[in-house]
Structure 1
Amino acid sequence: MEFLQGKLNAQVAGNRERNAYYDGEHRLAFAQEKFYEAFGGVFQSRWAENFCALIVDSVAERLRIEGFRMTDDPNADRDAWDIWQRSYMDDDSDSAHVDALITSKSYVLVWGDSDSKPVIQPKSANEMFVLTDPADRRKRLAAYQEYRDDWGTLHSRLWLPGGGFYKAIREEGDKTWREPEAGPNAFKVVPVVPLLNRPRLSGKPISELDRVIPVQDAINKVMIDALVASEYAAFPQRWVTGMELEEDENGQPIAPFRVALDRMFHSEDPQTAFGQFQAADLSNYVRLAEALTQALASISRIPLHYFLVNSGQPPSGESIKSAEAGLVAKSRQRQRSFGESWEEVMRLCFAVLGDRRQDACRAEVIWADPEYKSESEHIDALTKLKSLGVPDRQLQEDAGYSPGQIARFDKLMAEQMERARVQAMVFGQAPAADRLNGSAGGRDEESGEEMPEAA
Structure 2
Amino acid sequence: MIVPPGSHTAFIGKPSKPQEWLMYLYGKVPGPLHPSQEYSRYYEGDQQKFAFSQARYKSAFRDVFDQWRDNFCGTIVDSTNERLHVDSFRIPGEDDGTDARQFWQRNGMDAYSTAVHLEALITGRSYVVVWADAKGEPTITPVPGDRIAVSYKAGSLWELEAAARFEMDAWGRQQVTLWTEEYVYEVAYGETDWENGTKQKNPLGLVPVVPFENRSRLGREPVSELVNCIPIQDAINKTVMDALTASEFAAFPQRYVTGLEIVEDANGNPVEPYDVGADKLLQAEDPSAKFGSFEAANLANYVSLVDLLVQHLATVSRVPSHYFLVNSSNTPSGEAIISAEAGLVAKVKERMLHFGEAWERVIRLCFAVKNDKRRNAFDTETRWKDPEYRTEAQHIDALLKLKQLDVPLEFLWFEAGFSAAQISDFREMRKEDAKAQAEIQQLGPQPQVQVPGQPQEQKPNPNKPPQGNSGNAARKINEAK
Query: For residue 413 of structure 2, what is the amino acid of its counterpart?
Result: Q
In structure 1, the partner of 2:137 is 117
1:397 is paired with a residue of what secondary structure? helix
In structure 1, the partner of 2:274 is 257
In structure 1, the partner of 2:316 is 299
2:129 is paired with a residue of what secondary structure? strand
Does residue 191 (structure 1) correspond to residue 208 (structure 2)? The answer is yes
Query: For residue 236 of structure 1, what is the amino acid of its counterpart?
Result: P
1:271 is paired with a residue of what secondary structure? coil
In structure 2, the partner of 1:56 is 77
Alignment coverage as a number of residue pairs: 432
How far 1:447 moved relative to its partner? 8.0
1:315 is paired with a residue of what secondary structure? coil
Does residue 239 (structure 1) correspond to residue 259 (structure 2)? The answer is no
Q: Is the 8 A contact 2:187 2:194 kept in 1?
A: no
Q: Distance in 1 between the 2:330 and 2:125 partners?
A: 38
Query: For residue 77 of structure 1, what is the amino acid of its counterpart?
Result: G
Alignment of 1:79-94 (within 5 A): 79-94=99-114
Report the TM-score when normalising by structure 1: 0.89
Q: Distance in 2 between the 1:56 and 1:85 partners?
A: 26
In structure 2, the partner of 1:382 is 399
Q: Distance in 1 between the 2:461 and 2:126 partners?
A: 76
Q: Distance in 2 between the 1:441 and 1:371 partners?
A: 55
* Alignment equivalent of 2:36, drawn from 15, 19, 22: 15
Q: 1:250 to 1:6 in 2, by over 3 A?
A: farther
Q: Distance in 1 between the 2:140 and 2:69 partners?
A: 35
Q: Distance in 1 between the 2:29 and 2:55 partners?
A: 37
Question: Deviation per CA, 1:40-71, whole angstroms, max 9, x where unpaired?
Answer: 22432x55221111111111011100100134
In structure 2, the partner of 1:453 is none
Q: Distance in 2 between the 1:192 and 1:43 partners?
A: 44
Q: Distance in 2 between the 1:38 and 1:21 partners?
A: 25
1:329 is paired with a residue of what secondary structure? helix
2:163 is paired with a residue of what secondary structure? strand
Q: Is the 8 A contact 2:89 2:383 kept in 1?
A: yes
How far 1:266 moved relative to its partner? 1.3
In structure 2, the partner of 1:433 is none
Q: Is the 8 A contact 2:185 2:197 kept in 1?
A: no
Q: 1:183 to 1:36 in 2, by over 3 A?
A: farther
* Alignment equivalent of 1:343, drawn from 360, 373, 378: 360
In structure 2, the partner of 1:214 is 231
Question: Deviation per CA, 1:169-193, whole angstroms, max 9, x where unpaired?
Answer: 447xx7x557223256322121111
Measured on the aligned residues, the alpha-carbon RMSD in Å equals 2.4
Q: Is the 8 A contact 2:50 2:62 kept in 1?
A: no
Q: Distance in 2 between the 1:254 and 1:369 partners?
A: 71
Q: Is the 8 A contact 2:251 2:297 kept in 1?
A: yes
Alignment of 1:306-321 (within 5 A): 306-321=323-338
Q: Is the 8 A contact 1:132 1:140 kept in 2?
A: yes
Does residue 101 (structure 1) correspond to residue 121 (structure 2)? The answer is yes
Q: 1:47 to 1:381 in 2, by over 3 A?
A: same
Q: Distance in 1 between the 2:85 and 2:246 partners?
A: 44
Q: Distance in 2 between the 1:41 and 1:50 partners?
A: 19
How far 1:369 moved relative to its partner? 0.7
Q: Is the 8 A contact 1:111 1:119 kept in 2?
A: yes
Q: Distance in 1 between the 2:44 and 2:83 partners?
A: 20
Q: Distance in 2 between the 1:326 and 1:183 partners?
A: 49
**Which is greater in Rg?**
2
Q: Is the 8 A contact 1:302 1:327 kept in 2?
A: yes
1:66 is paired with a residue of what secondary structure? strand
In structure 2, the partner of 1:24 is 45
Q: 1:440 to 1:230 in 2, by over 3 A?
A: farther
Report the TM-score when normalising by structure 2: 0.84
Q: Distance in 2 between the 1:178 and 1:275 partners?
A: 83
Q: 1:304 to 1:429 in 2, by over 3 A?
A: same
Query: For residue 272 of structure 1, what is the amino acid of its counterpart?
Result: A
2:63 is paired with a residue of what secondary structure? helix
In structure 2, the partner of 1:135 is 155
In structure 2, the partner of 1:155 is 175
Does residue 410 (structure 1) correspond to residue 407 (structure 2)? The answer is no
Q: 1:88 to 1:184 in 2, by over 3 A?
A: farther
Q: Distance in 1 between the 2:262 and 2:237 partners?
A: 41
In structure 1, the partner of 2:23 is 2
How far 1:280 moved relative to its partner? 1.4
Gaps of 5+ in 1: 431-438, 451-455
1:8 is paired with a residue of what secondary structure? coil
